């Protein structure tokens, strides 16, 4: 499978991965033949790219950190909790706990602990899926740090609920495409306190999960909010959550910004470890992040184009790739290359294949 921007789909392509809407309902099923009018449906929901199966990418499979079924069920659990609170002011944590345990189980069963970033979030469920992504990342970091099962579950629950207060803020502020006013920004900043105040009395939540909700926007130099405390007064779980929160936010497309690439995001976050983010935890964090998602198209330094086939924890920046096209000769080249072994080759940047080779080559390859 190959990750392709919607504007470069012309009809007839085969969808390689199920696509869900903001409520967890199936929008387009795997193996569906893409039609042009699907583009508008997906664009309306803020989806900018999808996985397809084609001649170039046949046999390349993306292994999710957690199955779609668990992700969709977790999404539903958060929505049900928010809906119940809005209508009754009551909090029920049981479904969130079950979702957290399933997330932990699924990740522990995954032998290759690597996170592939492919922004397929819809604009209407960004905050909900952001909570799930942060939960997954927190658990992955916890595993790398040697945490026990009990601590992993606390990290998972705290990650799911870290932005609970934000889910209660009006959409017109959350999704405002223009710059927020000072008043609106202060409302956004209150989401940590709102979430904590609502959930602090819950006997089913541990102090670790609660502190993640309250302190995930604190910074090690004391410049964060809501308390303005520095590193020694920020629990490790909140420092883990802060890093995972920043990463998922930066690599996500929003109504007011485009997503940063993984490489640019990690570079920016490296700078933030000087005074904002925990440097030791960040070292662990970056070891679980694939620089280039499986199925992404990349340009190599010898002017050839390749698709990422496999990422490995020990060689994050040197995946196994499938070289498919030589720009120098304008010829197809099908060969597998391990960039860890081929020391003279390296990835220059992620690209869109359709912007580098003539569309007739793609059509010819599709027919071939």
Q: Which of 121, 166, 210, 276 is catalytic?
A: 166
Cis peptide before 226 (omega within 30 of 0): yes
Three-state secondary-structure class, residue 281: helix
Q: Using an 8 Å Cβ cutoff, are 208 and 162 in contact? A: no
Report CA 162 to chain centroid distance, whole Å.
16
By CB neighbour count within 10 A (0-12 exposed, 13-18 middle, 19+ buried), where does 103 fall?
buried
- The H-or-E segment that residue 78 falls in is helix 68-88
349 is catalytic: no
Q: Using an 8 Å Cβ cutoff, are 128 and 74 in contact? A: no
Q: Using an 8 Å Cβ cutoff, are 16 and 52 in contact? A: yes
Q: Using an 8 Å Cβ cutoff, are 290 and 150 in contact? A: no
Q: Using an 8 Å Cβ cutoff, are 77 and 106 in contact? A: no
Q: Using an 8 Å Cβ cutoff, are 345 and 300 in contact? A: yes
CA distances from 361 to 177, 330, 353, 365, 367 (A): 38, 10, 11, 6, 10
Residues in CB range of 114: below 8 A, 6 or more apart? 65, 288, 289, 290, 311, 312, 313, 316
Q: Using an 8 Å Cβ cutoff, are 192 and 225 in contact? A: yes
Closest CA to 25 of 100, 119, 124: 124
Q: Please give the positions annotated as active site.
A: 166
């Amino acid at each position: 499978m190959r990750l392709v921007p919607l504007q470069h789909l012309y009809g007839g392509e085969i969808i390689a991965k199920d696509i869900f809407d903001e409520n967890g309902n199936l929008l387009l099923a795997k193996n569906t033949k893409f039609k042009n009018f699907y583009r508008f449906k997906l664009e309306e929901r803020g989806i900018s790219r999808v996985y397809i199966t084609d001649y170039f990418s046949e046999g390349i499979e993306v292994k999710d950190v957690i199955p779609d079924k668990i992700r969709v069920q977790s999404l539903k659990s958060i929505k049900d909790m928010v809906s119940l609170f809005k209508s009754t002011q009551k909090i029920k944590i049981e479904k969130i706990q079950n979702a957290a345990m399933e997330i932990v189980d699924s990740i522990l069963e995954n032998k290759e602990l690597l996170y592939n970033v492919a922004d397929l979030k819809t604009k209407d469920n960004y905050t909900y899926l952001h909570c799930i992504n942060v939960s997954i990342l927190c658990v992955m970091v916890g595993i790398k740090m040697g945490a026990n099962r009990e601590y992993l579950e606390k990290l998972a629950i705290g990650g799911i609920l870290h932005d609970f207060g934000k889910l209660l803020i009006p959409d017109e502020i959350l999704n405002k495409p223009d710059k927020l006013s000072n008043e609106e920004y202060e409302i956004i900043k209150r989401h940590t306190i709102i979430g904590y105040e609502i959930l602090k009395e819950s006997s089913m939540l541990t102090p670790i999960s609660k502190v993640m909700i309250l302190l995930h926007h604190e910074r090690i130099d004391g410049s964060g909010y809501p308390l303005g405390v520095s590193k020694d007064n920020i629990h490790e779980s909140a420092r883990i959550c802060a890093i995972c929160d920043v990463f998922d936010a930066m690599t996500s497309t929003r109504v007011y910004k485009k997503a940063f690439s993984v490489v640019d995001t990690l570079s920016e976050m490296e700078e933030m470890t000087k005074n904002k983010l925990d440097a030791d935890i960040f070292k662990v964090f970056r070891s679980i992040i694939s620089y280039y998602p499986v199925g992404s198209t990349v340009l190599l330094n010898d002017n050839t184009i390749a698709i990422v086939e496999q990422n490995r924890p020990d060689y994050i920046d040197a995946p196994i790739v499938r070289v498919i096209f030589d720009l120098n000769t304008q010829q197809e080249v099908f060969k597998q290359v391990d960039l860890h072994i081929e020391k003279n080759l390296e990835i220059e940047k992620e690209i869109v294949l359709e912007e580098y080779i003539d569309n007739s080559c793609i059509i010819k390859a599709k027919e071939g």
